[in-house]
Amino acid sequence: MVQLCDLIAPVAVVPGLKATTKRQVLQEMAARAARVTGQDERALIEVLLERERLGTTGIGGGIAIPHGKLATIDRMYGFFARLETPIDFDSIDNQPVDLVFMLLAPESDGTDHLKALAKIARVLRDRSLCAKLRGSNTAEAIYAILTESAAPPDADPAPVRAAPVQGRVARR
């Protein structure tokens, strides 16, 4: 199963993106993606805009998941931005967007791309998680929230260790 920690790195997180239009958000995220992936920025923008022409990737609740496939990349990449100011993204609920998770995948990816999109949508449907993302101001904090919350449900929880604290046993 695809995990967000396999898709995104701290360098791919923008904690306060300044943009006023959907196109500007896509351009800024494509520029970041070009630096991280080594891909052509124009090609990334075109892929993202082409997908938006098919239908909005604004899924509601202030969230958008723009995505596209490219023949020139060898694996999936995720990029996340929390916008400084919510913008119109033609979302299905007509609400402005302030959380954007962009996914880029190889053209050869079949169902893995769809599974990754489904995982991202499931994670971002969590209202308390989105509130934490909206309240975070650093890339590191946002990355931690995204990746920790998206751990597989069967993952072992962190071990509980007992340590004496002034005559009591404390759990951490």
Alpha helices in 1-138 (DSSP H): 4-7, 22-37, 41-54, 111-124, 127-135
DSSP annotation of 91 reads -
Collapsing DSSP states into helix, strand and coil, what is residue 162? strand
Angle at 126 between CA 13 and CA 14, to 5 degrees: 10
Name the active-site residue from 32, 67, 82, 119: 67
All residues at 6 or more sequence positions from 116 whose CB lies less than 8 Å from its CB, including other chains: 2, 7, 76, 78, 103, 105
- In angstroms, the Cα distances linking 129 to 20, 126, 132 are 24, 5, 5
Handedness of CA 29, 50, 94, 149 (dihedral sign): negative
113 counts as catalytic: no
Catalytic residues: 67
